[in-house]
Structure 1
Amino acid sequence: MSKAQLAEQVTDIAHQAGKAIMAIYAKDFDIYSKDDKSPLTEADLAAHHIIVDGLKAISDLPILSEESADIPWQERRQWQQYWLVDPLDGTKEFIKKNGEFTVNIALIENGEPVLGVVYAPVLDTTYSGVVGEFARFSQSGNTEELKPATHQSGECWKVVGSRSHQSPEIQALLDQLPGETELVAMGSSLKLCLVAQGKAHLYPRLGPTCEWDTAAAHAVVRAAGGSVCELDADKPLSEQRTPLRYNQKESLLNPYFLVSC
């Protein structure tokens, strides 16, 4: 099966998970706390089971999901290919019912995301990409190719960020940009997708994320021609060139990163 065909099947799985999430979204639901105090809902678990069952039906590769992440490093470090899943990215957005949450499914090969599907069920929006083949955006039955926006001289920089006040570290990075900057606010992995879609030029992240938070959208960004690099706040933006990689260490936390085109 080609990766393009695989992406179609993964998109179907993501849509099935999204349907289950929406059934719970439409009613009152219970909220639990994980060991790290982050919120968990029955929608996270319902989507997790649908995705895991769906992926097992089309592939024999191992699966690492946020809701089943307790796989020993000694086992995980042997993986050359595996699925990396966040069944419901943006649980806080889900609880707030602002619609900015996603289903994320990525295929990782040798530490790099090569296939990704990001589905936002409330927005009826799907981002999908296979590196070297295609990057697409679909909404309400309409599909278009993704193309990042190259910043033009004199143009305002559109920067994805938090709705709250930017940290001094982020502001210091933005001060390096020539000209004005405009904040583009968005939740979950949709932040990365905005760069892939050309609705933003940069997304600097100087806050904690896990590998499943970024992998699917990272694949979409790469497929569209953009990049995701580790971000060292002590270096100029022009020197941020180390690609963000996956499953390279025991911790599943990402370093800080920069999404650009």
Structure 2
Amino acid sequence: MVEAFADLSLRAGEIILDIRARGAAVMEKADHSPVTEADRRAEALILAGLAEACPGVPVVAEEAASAGHVPATLGDHFILVDPLDGTREFIAGRPDFTVNIALIERGSPIAGVVYAPMRRTLWAASGHHAWSADVQDDGTLGDARGLVCRGWQAPPCIVASVSHRTPETDEFIARFDGATMSAIGSSLKFCLLAEGEADLYPRYGRTMEWDTAAGDAVLRAAGGVTITLDEKPLVYGKRNQANDVDFANPFFISASREGVSRIKGEVRGTAR
């Protein structure tokens, strides 16, 4: 399944790059977020490919969900798709946008791929194995590099959103004297943690499950954790939520397992 995810993400990436080269018209969805032809064409390719590669597995995809088209039931396994995570980065001409496909099992992301077309790099996870590879000139993937989160660094390197920074995020970052910052878009923040290039990713801002599932799968397979502010694992397949729409995430913190153990108390905003 991960091989199918990787192939589809690479093909979707070529569509996105082609549209980027000739210019993409920007439209607005019902929730006032932007969408482009690249989002829609990449999703159409991925959905067609998943229907062939994974028949019978329910798929929740961003643009289809935005139009009100979601499976009636999800079951124990389903797939989450974000065909172009970082649409604002894409529109602004920045390189930090990704294609994301993830498999969810009983609420946990157990496999997935994140592909960054401008970086020509793919990150993937299956079970407890995480790896990355560069795309070669012939379109194939090069040698895989295993991914493992690093141990806790003090002061930590913290990654945060470029387009969705919030005062709550800044307040959390301020608790760590001397922390260094790396601002990067899309699901690449999870990948930096998985590669051992950063220590914390605080998200005090809105995300949807398709935004996070693939990167979260890579992080967890590399030895990381994503927890909510009540220090419980972030789960997927959230429907009929009392205070939010289906598939919306609460605020969360991502880090290595050691990192999470070091910052307990800070997550809830209390002193250690």
Bin the TM-score by the shorter chain.
Answer: 0.7 to 0.9
Residue 235 of structure 1 corresponds to none
Residue 65 of structure 1 corresponds to 61
Question: Could you report, residue by residue, the CA deviation over 1:89-120 in whole angstroms, capped at 9, with x for unpaired residues?
Answer: 00111111111000000001111111110000
Residue 31 of structure 2 corresponds to 36
Residue 3 of structure 1 corresponds to none
Amino acid of the structure 2 residue aligned with 1:16: R
Q: Is 1:96 aligned with 2:92? A: yes
Question: Could you report, residue by residue, the CA deviation over 1:155-195 in whole angstroms, capped at 9, with x for unpaired residues?
Answer: 33100113489644334333443x41001111001111111
Q: Is 1:53 aligned with 2:43? A: no
For residue 78 of structure 2, the aligned residue among 82, 92, 106 is: 82
Q: Give, in whole Å, the separation in 2 of the partners of 1:260 and 1:85.
A: 23
Q: Give, in whole Å, the separation in 1 of the partners of 2:170 and 2:80.
A: 32
Q: Is 1:193 aligned with 2:194? A: no
For residue 12 of structure 1, the aligned residue among 7, 21, 31 is: 7
Residue 151 of structure 2 corresponds to 150
**Unaligned 5+ residue runs, structure 1?**
1-5, 233-239
- Aligned-pair CA distance for 1:72: 5.8
Q: Give, in whole Å, the separation in 1 of the partners of 2:143 and 2:88.
A: 29
Q: Give, in whole Å, the separation in 2 of the partners of 1:41 and 1:168.
A: 29
Question: Could you report, residue by residue, the CA deviation over 1:185-210 in whole angstroms, capped at 9, with x for unpaired residues?
Answer: 11001111111111110001000000
Structure 1 residues 120, 165: CA separation in 2 closer, same or farther (over 3 Å shift)?
A: closer
Q: Give, in whole Å, the separation in 1 of the partners of 2:182 and 2:85.
A: 19
Residue 228 of structure 1 corresponds to 226
TM-score, length-scaled by structure 1 = 0.87
TM-score, length-scaled by structure 2 = 0.84
**Unaligned 5+ residue runs, structure 2?**
136-141, 241-245, 257-272
Residue 104 of structure 2 corresponds to 108
Residue 209 of structure 1 corresponds to 207
| SS in structure 1 of the partner of residue 130 of structure 2 | strand
Is the 8 Å Cα contact of residues 161 and 186 (structure 2) preserved in structure 1?
no
Residue 180 of structure 1 corresponds to 178
Q: Give, in whole Å, the separation in 2 of the partners of 1:200 and 1:40.
A: 30
Residue 121 of structure 2 corresponds to 125
Q: Give, in whole Å, the separation in 1 of the partners of 2:253 and 2:120.
A: 27
- Aligned-pair CA distance for 1:231: 2.1
Is the 8 Å Cα contact of residues 131 and 220 (structure 1) preserved in structure 2?
no
